[in-house]
Structure 1
Amino acid sequence: MASYNEISVSTLARLVGTPDCPALLDVRIDEDFDDDPRLIPGAIRQPFRNVVDLASELAGRSVVVYCQKGLKISQGAAALLRAAGIRAEALEGGQFAWRDAGQPMLLADRLPPRDAAGRTVWVTRHRPKIDRIACPWLIRRFVDPRAQILFVAASQVHNVAEKFGATPFDVEDAFWSHRGENCTFDTMIEEFGIGNDALARLALIVRGADTNKHDLAPEAAGLLAASLGLSRMYRDDLEQLEAGMTLYDAFYRWARDATEEGHDWPAASAKV
């Protein structure tokens, strides 16, 4: 059981991938990171002695810090953040405990270069519908919460990527794109190594909606309808993305927690 100022692996696992996930700081020393260069999804690396450099950015947020075993480095780094007024906890058992629990881990060498502000930058075609909302949701929930998403004319995606140091996705001749019958969403889950049962269910729905193969999952038609509705509600692509984040948050929580739940009306227990 986690002690005071610690969070358990099971508790953190319920938060990862949701809007309530705390900021995650990987403070392992370089030697420990080199032994296992994977991150808890959404984490950023930060030298443990310099965690207070992030105090202004983390103000008002909850933070979880982890090192290899959850001992002196993460305990000390979390204490430094608390001394700076940040709500910070250490992960009980550290990265070893997360790994040994079989939780998904992100392959750090798949991450694109970061900009001067420490963000990954991604670019795709404007007027998104399904894959181009699903992928930014996946990136911000499981890869880089601070990721910057650029929507531009289809003919200019690769040019913008070159000039602005962005990573193109969901376009032809891009690494991060469709592969065979799989969507870009599938590609990202596979390449980053972040698959779990809930994401696998969601990926099937995204694939069915994005490729008009609604027989893959009964929810695919609903996702298509909601996506097309959002595309007509918003002229601004970034506003549509923000609305779409909530849509995919709901689908993810259904895929994780509610697939066996139905809705009865009138309630079975109601008296006639």
Structure 2
Amino acid sequence: MSATNSITADKLFRLIGTPNCPAIIDVRPDGAELLPTSVSRRAEDVREWAGSLAGKNVVVSCIHGHERSAGVAAILRTEGINAEILEGGFEAWRDAGLPVIVAAKLPERDPAGRTLWVTRARPKVDRIACPWLIRRFVDPEAVFLFVSPTDVAGVAERFGATPFDVEGVFWSHRGDQCTFDTMIEEFGLDRIDALARLAIIVRGADTARPEIAPQAAGLLAASLGLSRMFSDDLEQLEAGMPVYDAFYRWCRDAVEETHDWISHKPKRSRQPVIA
């Protein structure tokens, strides 16, 4: 029987990657591996950081889902925050074979606890797909800087931002793979079938190979359309997030579904014959 105010690993996994994902707080003393999107916090300091979660749904995870997470979640609820615990804790997540992120792969966070990234201005495919991936699976509060290509390296050094999708950096294209592929692999998210399917679509759209996935041409068209609609890169990113949300949900839930005019036409009612 599930504990009160708890959520199972499988149910939480279904929420990760969607706009409705709760804030996941990891209160284990040592977190070399993390749940996707989770943030590490000291359980003993809960009253100090509780305010940052106001208005959010929260899931608290500890090692086994016992008193550490239960206590933190209970304190958060006294602050008016809707908080649950991960049933069985991090160990239940691992036992279910669900993906984890190696903490050492994450860039250093800024004073506000956010990862900071920098790339070239005027994004099209990869430079919207990668921020979507990071915000939905790695760091929901991540900040993205779009600057002139000649300024990426200097901005990265001066402001401690992590460069991506530029030549000569870790987070970039490798062979015929695009930066989206690199991030999925490095963050250990390649075990998520829907992301692996989405990666092919992004790769086809980003590397001028629409033939590798029928949906790639549509993604490219949407991406180019967005780039014409918005002169502000951050506005374009926000508008692009639902596009990738939709493609991800198709990859996860709807690949077998078909749609045609005939199957959705209302059936004509038979009128009685009057002699």
TM-score range, shorter chain: over 0.9
Inter-CA distance 95–224: structure 2 relative to 1 (3 Å threshold): same
| 1:56 CA displacement | 1.9
Provide Cα deviations, 1:23-56, integer angstroms capped at 9, x if missing partner: 00000122xx3xxx11110000001111222222
Provide Cα deviations, 1:144-174, integer angstroms capped at 9, x if missing partner: 1100000000111011000110000000111
- Who wins on radius of gyration, i.e. which is larger? 2
Provide Cα deviations, 1:66-95, integer angstroms capped at 9, x if missing partner: 001001111111111111111100000000
Q: Structure 2 residue aligned with 1:230, among 226, 230, 247?
A: 226
1:50-89 matches, cutoff 5 A: 50-89=45-84
| 1:123 CA displacement | 0.1
- Equivalent position SS for 1:267: helix
Which amino acid is 1:4 matched to? T
- Equivalent position SS for 1:57: helix
Distance 1:5 1:53 in 2: 22
Which amino acid is 2:105 matched to? R
- Equivalent position SS for 1:254: helix
Distance 1:6 1:136 in 2: 30
Distance 2:24 2:114 in 1: 14
1:134 is aligned to: 129
2:213 is aligned to: 217
Distance 1:72 1:25 in 2: 15
RMSD, aligned α-carbons: 1.1
1:114 is aligned to: 109
Distance 1:210 1:99 in 2: 33
Inter-CA distance 124–70: structure 2 relative to 1 (3 Å threshold): same
- Equivalent position SS for 2:158: helix
Provide Cα deviations, 1:188-213, integer angstroms capped at 9, x if missing partner: 01111122100000000000000011
2:271 is aligned to: none
State how many pairs are aligned.
267
Question: Where does the alignment leave 5 or more consecutive residues of structure 1 unmatched?
Answer: none
Q: Does 1:25 align with 2:25?
A: yes
The percent identity for this pair of structures is 64
1:102 is aligned to: 97
1:1-272 matches, cutoff 5 A: 1-30=1-30, 33=31, 37-195=32-190, 196-267=192-263, 270-272=266-268
- Normalised by the length of structure 1, the TM-score is 0.96
Deviating above 6 A after TM superposition, structure 1's stretches of 4 or more consecutive aligned residues are none
Which amino acid is 1:251 matched to? F
Distance 2:147 2:199 in 1: 25
- Equivalent position SS for 1:266: helix
Question: Where does the alignment leave 5 or more consecutive residues of structure 2 unmatched?
Answer: 269-275
- Equivalent position SS for 1:21: coil
Distance 1:18 1:51 in 2: 26
| 1:267 CA displacement | 2.0
